[in-house]
Amino acid sequence: MPTTLSDRNGLVNRQIPEMQLSDGSPSSLTAPPPPAPLHLTPEGRAQHRFAVQGNAIITGGTGTLALAGARALLEHGLTGLALLDRDAESAADAVEGLARDFPAARILVKQVDVTRADEVARAVGEVSGVLGSVDMLVCYAGVVGCVHALDMKPEEWRRTMDINATGAFICAQAVAREMVGQGRGGSIVFISSISAHRVNYPQPQSAYNVSKAALLHLKNCLAAEWARYGIRVNSISPGYMDTILNEGAGLESARKIWAERNPMGRMGVPAELTGPLVLLCSRAGSFVNGADLVVDGGAVVF
C-alpha cells in the first residue's frame, strides 16, 4: 500500500506494459504455413504433414516418458537433441541406443538443475552453439510426492512447486529468448497431468496437483505473449502411465483403483504420449497454440 503522497502519485500515474499480438500477415511469424509441394505422393504428403524439423531440448530427459518422446521426435525427422537432467548418467544405455539407431542425429546429454536459472541459460546457450539452433522445448522434469496436506512441510511444498512450475518457466524463458534471437519461432510443450484437472484418488498429493495446474495457466500466458515471435506454447496432460514410478507391491491397490475408474479400464503406456507430442512439434500443429491435450483414456470424464 502507498504510504506517502509520492508513492500514491507513482501508483496512479504508472503505465503498465502491454502485450502485443501478431497481425498474422504474410510477413509475420504467425503466417499460414506454405502448402505441401505439389510433386509429393500421398505418402510423401503424410510424411510432410508430421515432419519434425530442427533441434529439441528435453528436460527430465533421461526419464522413461522423456526418452520415448525423444525417440518419436527423432523418428519424425529431428536432427539434433539435447537431454537435460540432474542425473545425466542414469540413462547412458538408452542414450547410446538412440545414437545407434539415429546415427545422423546429434545427441547431447547435459547435467542441469532446472531450478537454477544460471545453469539453464548456460546449457541452452551451449546447446544452441553446438546444434546451431533450438527449435523445440519439451519439459518433462518434475517430482511427485504423496503426503497428506496436514502433514506436509512447507519445504516439501516449495520444492515441488519450484521444480514442476518454476523450473518449467525458467527453461521456457531461456529457450524463448534463444528462439526470439533466431527469429523463426518454435514450439514449447509442457508436460502437465490429469492431476491439474481434478483431485487424484486415492493418493493425497496437493502440492503436485497445484504445481501441474500452474503449468496449464503458465502455458496460456506464454501462448498469448509469445505468439508474435512465432512461438507456440502447449501442454499435454497424461493420465496414469504404466512406468517404473507406478510399479511395486505397495501400489497394487492404487493401480487397481486407477484402472477401475478409467473408462478404458487400464493405465497408459509411454508410447501413447508420443503421438500428441509429434503433433505439437510438427507442421501438423502449426495452428495449435495455448492448447492442452488430455491423454488419459477418458479418466477425467468422471
Q: Which residues are catalytic?
A: 208
Report the alpha-carbon distance of residue 31 to residue 25 in Å, rounded: 6
Q: Is 263 exposed, middle or buried (0-12, 13-18, 19+ CB in 10 A)?
A: exposed
Give the residue ranges of DSSP H helices in the chain.
Answer: 5-12, 42-49, 64-75, 92-101, 117-131, 154-161, 167-182, 206-226, 252-260, 274-281
Collapse the DSSP code of 287 into the 3-class scheme (helix H, G, I; strand E, B; otherwise coil) and give the result. coil
Collapse the DSSP code of 205 into the 3-class scheme (helix H, G, I; strand E, B; otherwise coil) and give the result. strand
Q: Compute CA 256 distance to the chain's CA centroid, rounded to the nearest angstrom.
A: 28
Task: Annotate 236-272 with DSSP letters as a single string.
Answer: EEE--B-SGGG-SGGGHHHHHHHHHTSTTSS-B-GGG
Residue 202 has a CB neighbour count (10 Å cut-off) of: 10
- What's the angle, vertex CA 77, arms to CA 75 and CA 78, rounded to 5? 95
Collapse the DSSP code of 147 into the 3-class scheme (helix H, G, I; strand E, B; otherwise coil) and give the result. strand
Report the alpha-carbon distance of residue 57 to residue 109 in Å, rounded: 10
Collapse the DSSP code of 291 into the 3-class scheme (helix H, G, I; strand E, B; otherwise coil) and give the result. coil
Q: Which of 146, 142, 261 is nearest to 203 (CA)?
A: 146
Collapse the DSSP code of 188 into the 3-class scheme (helix H, G, I; strand E, B; otherwise coil) and give the result. strand
